[in-house]
Amino acid sequence: MAHPKRRQSSTRRDKRRTHYKATAPQIAVDSTTGEAHLYHRAHWHEGKLYYRGKVLIDNNTEEVA
């Protein structure tokens, strides 16, 4: 019967026994712009910041000084 030459660390043992797997992030498509983005995240599209189909920040507007 084979025996290990060195003791395996608890970290290596636990990594082998885990059932957690890496998953791909969920991608949503904005209904207003059609832009793909991560769920629950705002995204930029053509100089505007969108969240849930609404404009939060518009960088195209001129500011009066």
The predicted structure's pLDDT at residue 1: 82
Q: Which residues pair with 43 in a beta bridge?
A: 50
Q: How far apart are CA 39 and CA 62, in angstroms?
A: 30
The predicted structure's pLDDT at residue 26: 93
The predicted structure's pLDDT at residue 35: 92
Domain boundaries, the chain: 25-65
Instruction: Walk across the sheet containing 54-58 and list its strands.
Output: 43-45, 48-51, 54-58
**What does the pLDDT profile of the chain (65 residues) look like in tens digits?**
888 899 999 999 999 998 888 888 999 999 888 999 999 999 999 999 999 989 999 988 766 66
